[in-house]
């Protein structure tokens, strides 16, 4: 055994004191090594307690500038009238199909695990005719109707989907959207807004755990639909925006549920 322990040995003693019996024995009888051991142990603890750093102030702007969001959004704005003579025809058709499938998925997402909440939001809207095939229980429980049942092949401009997804109360959307965004996209966002209004806020999770679980299931369905749509149109800005919003919503709810479960214990 050397006169004093190497720092590497002291480091090993911090993690696995049982694995180094001779070094441990030395430590008991050596004041200098004990001091160094304590210093290194404090250093290790201080490292694990380092605070998070502040990201660069213009971080998001720099990232957004590297994303093709603006260009794609402008292209998406002209989407309902496809440029059949343009070079991006096939991409537009694929994007259009993806949006239609996406819209269908969103409709299904809203349809899954229909809310049991009472009140004006669920009680005043009539079931759409398309619910007949879904069975009476679902028809009665789903005020939105199976918008997802709209066949994607019916249209290439999304108007049928937009019509089937359109809010029945006449409102469009309270979400702040670019003014030139096509109607199908606007309708999707209005549906997200409606979904938010129907689910419990994170602070209400503890009081309404069943509603929170249903809301989580709806969000999962929306995420699945968005992911599937993105496989066909991975750069579609509206679907990506939508997915980010739903994921953020799900993340917040998931955290709230976790905190609530800890409080319950």
The residues that touch another protein, with contacts defined as CB under 8 A, are: 3-4, 6-12, 14-15, 30-32, 35-36, 39-40, 42-44, 46-48, 50-56, 59-60, 62-64, 66-67, 220, 223, 226-228, 230-231, 234, 240-241, 243-245, 247-248, 250-251, 254-255
Report in angstroms how near the CB of residue 94 gets to another protein at its nearest: 14
Comparison of 166 and 233: residue with beta carbon closer to another protein: 233
Comparison of 21 and 56: residue with beta carbon closer to another protein: 56
Report in angstroms how near the CB of residue 69 gets to another protein at its nearest: 8
User: Within a 13 Å sphere around the CA of 250, how many CA atoms are in the beta-carbon half?
Assistant: 16
Residue 98: name the closest of 236, 222, 224 by CA.
236
Comparison of 160 and 205: residue with beta carbon closer to another protein: 205
- The answer to whether 158 and 182 are in contact (CB under 8 A) is yes
Residue 175: name the closest of 222, 101, 241, 95 by CA.
241
Report in angstroms how near the CB of residue 168 gets to another protein at its nearest: 28
Backbone angles phi, psi at 135, to 5 degrees: 95, 150
- Angle, helices 7-15/21-29, rounded to nearest 10 degrees: 110
How far apart CA 113 and CA 10 sit, in angstroms, is 57
Report in angstroms how near the CB of residue 25 gets to another protein at its nearest: 17
């Amino acid at each position: 055994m050397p006169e004093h322990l190497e720092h590497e040995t002291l480091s090993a003693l911090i993690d696995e004191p049982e694995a180094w019996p001779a070094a441990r024995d030395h430590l008991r009888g050596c004041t200098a090594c004990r001091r160094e051991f304590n210093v290194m142990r404090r250093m290790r603890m201080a490292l694990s307690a380092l605070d998070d750093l502040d990201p660069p102030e213009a971080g998001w702007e720099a990232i957004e500038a590297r994303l093709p969001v603006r260009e794609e959004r402008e292209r998406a704005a002209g989407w309902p009238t496809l440029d059949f003579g343009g070079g991006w025809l096939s991409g537009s058709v694929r994007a259009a199909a993806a949006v239609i499938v996406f819209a269908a998925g969103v409709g299904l997402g809203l349809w899954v695990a229909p809310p049991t909440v009472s009140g004006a939001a669920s009680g005043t809207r009539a079931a759409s005719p398309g619910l007949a095939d879904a069975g009476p229980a679902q028809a009665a429980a789903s005020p939105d109707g199976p918008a997802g049942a709209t066949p994607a092949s019916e249209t290439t401009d999304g108007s049928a989907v937009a019509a089937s997804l359109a809010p029945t109360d006449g409102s469009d959307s309270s979400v702040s959207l670019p003014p030139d965004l096509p109607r199908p996209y606007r309708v999707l966002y209005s549906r997200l807004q409606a979904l938010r209004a129907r689910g419990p806020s994170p602070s209400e999770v503890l009081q309404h755990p069943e509603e929170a679980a249903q809301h989580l299931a709806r969000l999962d369905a929306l995420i699945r639909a968005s992911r599937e749509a993105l496989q066909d149109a991975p750069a579609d800005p509206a679907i990506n925006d939508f997915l980010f919003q739903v994921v953020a919503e799900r993340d917040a709810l998931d955290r709230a549920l976790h905190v609530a479960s800890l409080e319950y214990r």
